[in-house]
Structure 1
Amino acid sequence: MSQCFKAVPLFDSYRPFYALKRSILFPEDIPAVKTFVNSIADGPVPEAIDDYWHAKDFLWSKCRRSEATYNAFRSESERFLLWAWCIHGKSVALMKKRDIEAYIDFVVNPPKSWIAVRVCRRFESKSGQKKPNQNWRPFVVKLSKAERKELMRSIPDTAIKPDSGNYALAQKSLREVFSNLSVLYNHLVEEDYAFGNAIAAVKKASPHLIVDVSNNSVKRLSALQWEYVLESTRMKADQDPIWERNLFIIAVMKSLYLRVSELSCRPNWSPKMGDFFREEDDWWFIAFGKGNKKRKVSVPVDFLDYLRRYRLSRGLDGLPAVGESSPLLHSMRKHNPGLRARTIAMLAQEAFDLASENMARDGFEDDAKVLLATSTHWLRHTGASMDVDTRALKDLSADLGHGKLSTTDKEYVHADDKERAASGRMRRV
């Protein structure tokens, strides 16, 4: 089969996908999907329509609770179907161990024609219908955030373009491929569409997986980097009230160990000021996190000053009232009930970039470069890592929302590494 890319994306984004009734196979507003799948069924893979039906049913069944979960499984299911039909010429229901091995080889080293140099929408709206985006591909080569920012300092942003020949699949991403495929095949077996699940056997013998214990620590800021992030943002907010929102975001994520999703406005949750509440002398925050689970997070007294000043910048008095319905993070657009994760990440990145500039100016070039690669999740890890030595592990684990103490211990207790580094630091050549 040809390795040129002549396929189309198969599944729409989260909201329109679930707006379509489960019993309807193809979306009426994207006729190209039906045309493409029917052409495969009339040609190399007669079972293509059944493949598509079961993959769509899998997404409907497994991913309704979380848009992030849907996006992850959609990408893998879609990529797997396109490879099976367009390159391997075989139904996913008939795949054996050697077929899955061939797919993993393909994912590790896809043809250039299947790789995009930027993230693109799958579909573009034209005249009331959606048409496949000609620039979309199942794989994307990306520059790291740090690389892009370094290049932006020397050349215009419009000239920055990754080379598809530089595509490389990270080990974490490869493990996610195995995991997502295994869940898909479990569903297909349960529905009596596939005869078995060979993913575990393929993973066990895969030459592409590397056991890596060299750098398994979480990404976090040093005390100096965090001091620059906090102080730079606070000074900017003192000068420009618009930056109070940036300051609040970095302070709440670090102090309360929050994920960006737990601050964002989602279809089933919009954080409110009333999610902060008081019990006797203690303040708490209700976070709505992974697995659609709510948890209470203890609020440090020191953080309350940042909550007060952010509320004051919005014309709100003191600390939140019981059941207060004001959005936790205000949007510039009044009709929005809060901020999306992407906007929150952008505002946090503004703080990281400002701190990076200040660190570079003060001579901390290496630390400044690290800040260029920082993401919002580093704030959660930074807060937990700084507090692990002063808090009981069970309390820290509860605030983080970990189901097991062992998870917290594994991620944030690195006494052995510290001792080993200290004992080896002064070795002589």
Structure 2
Amino acid sequence: MSDVVSTAGLPQVVDFQQTPSLERIRPSVDAEASAALPDLVQARSDIEAAAIWLEATTDNPKTRRAMRKEVERFILWALHVRNKQLSQIGVMDIRAYVNFMADPQPADVWVSAIKRPRQHPAWRPFAGPLSLASQRYALVQLGSLYAWMVKGGWLKGNPVALVKKPEAPIDPMIKRLLPPEGIALAFEAIASTKSPLKRARDHFMFSLFYLTGLRTFEATAADMATLRRSASGHLWLMVQGKRNKRREVPISEALYEELGRYRVAFDLPLITLPGEDTPLLMAANSKRKRASNSTVLKAMIEIMGRAAALARTREQHELAERLTEATTHWLRHSCFSHLAQATGDLVMVRSLAGHARMDTTSRYLHAEADDLHVRVSQTLLTPPSS
């Protein structure tokens, strides 16, 4: 079968609700398999089954968008390159898709560097070739879909499970990390902010991300009322993380005091009232509206940019480069790395981070490159030559 995509191009999007171009029938399953696995999905087509998977497996809008993107790409490729539906895909199709993700061709059909709305005529499924890590992530999502379909009695097997996933190189030295000097410069930049509301919000926001390691969406979804004080007197913030897992994050007294100053700046009472629905992160105006993920990321990039400018004036050029690249997620890495280096307690860091696996947390137990160089050079010695 040819792997050449029709020059007619792609449909704008995969419509998970209406798919008139596809035969709306259930894939054939033999009688013995049907008896062993009853049809729990109860869809009328593969695409409808995929839509039910999206609806049934997550309530997080960000996670659902990421899952949908990977499945939508695959469905379009399967239809237009392999002329197959999901239920007809085999192992060699998955292997071919891995190669395709590394170089989506023809590029004018599949790729657009400009991000457009999904209904736009020039929308394309890919922004460019996918990295090894992104290829692996795509297969994880597709494997999850197929495993769910098998478990629900919709399909007999999971072809993705039989294909080796791409191995993304793992750099043990986490690069997305700011040293304490970078953190200090960021606060210096925030202190020079002219707007009192923005200055108060940004100071609290930066402190929150660095002192707790929260993900952006965890912080923007939280309300001030979810703060509670335990019987021992310690403060905790309830957040909802990946895969809808809820966890409590410790809030220091210093951060709580910063929250109070932030509240006062927005004409709120110093202490959070029971049942109050004020968002934890607000837009930098007097309307007290919830800050979106994009608002937070934009504000963080602006702070980092001003901190980088300060670093350049002091000829700290390497630090300036780091600050220029830094985002909210860098503060998460910095929080866990600094904690791991100071305490060596990976169990504690894992709990704070909300990691499912310890090997994810163990990446934070490292020395900076310069510190590593000094320790190795001073510890391992050989006698000089005569």
TM-score by length of 2: 0.81
1:295/1:191 Cα in 2 relative to 1: closer, same or farther (>3 Å)? Answer: closer
Residue of structure 2 equivalent to 1:59: 54
Pairing 1:310-329 to 2, within 5 Å after superposition: 310-329=262-281
Check whether the contact 2:182–2:319 (CA below 8 A) recurs between aligned residues: yes
Structure 2 equivalent of residue 370 of structure 1: 322
Aligned to 1:400: 353
In 1, are the aligned partners of 2:94 and 2:160 still within 8 Å (CA)?
yes
Give the letter aligned to residue 195 of structure 1: K
- Tell me the CA shift for residue 58 of structure 1: 2.2
- Give the 3-state SS of the residue equivalent to 2:280 in structure 1: coil
Rate the CA distance shift 1:377–1:416 in 2: closer, same or farther, 3 A: closer
What is the alpha-carbon distance in structure 2 between the residues aligned to residue 416 and residue 311 of structure 1? 37
Deviation at 1:214, TM superposition (A): 3.8
1:192 Cα deviation from its structure 2 partner: 4.0
Distance 1:55 1:196 in 2: 15
Asked whether 1:232 is paired with 2:235, we answer no
Does the alignment pair 1:136 with 2:88? Answer: no
* Aligned match of 1:20: none
Distance 1:3 1:371, change over 3 A: farther
**Structure 1 residue 178 and structure 2 residue 139: aligned?**
yes
Q: Which residue of 2 aligns with 1:244?
A: 200
Deviations 1:210-260 (A, max 9, x none): 4524445362211211111122112326x7442221221111111122111
- Out of 183-192 and 373-382, give the one that drifted further: 183-192
- Residue 329 of structure 1 contacts residue 339 of structure 1 at CA under 8 Å; is this kept in 2? yes
- 1:346 and 2:293 correspond: no
Gaps of 5+ in 2: 25-43
Aligned residue-pair number: 353
Write out aligned runs for 1:9-408 (5 A).
9-11=13-15, 25-26=17-18, 34=19, 37-38=20-21, 50-63=45-58, 65-111=59-105, 112-113=107-108, 114-123=110-119, 133-140=120-127, 167-203=128-164, 209-210=166-167, 212-215=169-172, 217=174, 219-236=176-193, 240-265=196-221, 271-279=222-230, 281-331=233-283, 338-391=290-343, 392-403=345-356, 407-408=360-361
SS of the residue corresponding to residue 236 of structure 1 reads: coil
Instruction: Return the alpha-carbon distance in structure 1 between the equivalents of residues 168 and 317 of structure 2.
Output: 32
Q: Tell me the alpha carbon deviations over residues 40-84 of structure 1, each in whole angstroms, 9 at most, x when there is no partner.
A: 659xxxxxx823222222222223x11122112211111111111
* Cα distance change of structure 1 residues 184 and 319 upon mapping to structure 2, 3 Å threshold: same
Number of the residue aligned with 2:34: none
CA change 1:333–1:54 in 2 (3 A) is: farther
Whether the 8 Å CA contact 1:76–1:180 is kept in 2: the answer is yes
Q: Is the 8 A contact 2:173 2:366 kept in 1?
A: no
Between 294-303 and 107-116, report the one with greater CA deviation.
Answer: 294-303
Kept after mapping to 1: 8 A contact 2:213/2:332: yes
Residue 12 of structure 2 is aligned to residue 8 of structure 1 = yes
Task: State the Cα distance separating 1:335 from its structure 2 match.
Answer: 7.6
Contact 1:277 1:321 in 2 (8 A): no
Q: 2: CA distance between counterparts of 1:275 and 1:193?
A: 41
- When normalised by structure 1's length, the TM-score is 0.73
Q: Distance in 2 between matches of 1:302 and 1:318?
A: 14
Contact in 2 for aligned 1:388/1:412 (Cα 8 Å)? yes
Q: Could you say which residue in structure 2 is the equivalent of 1:149?
A: none
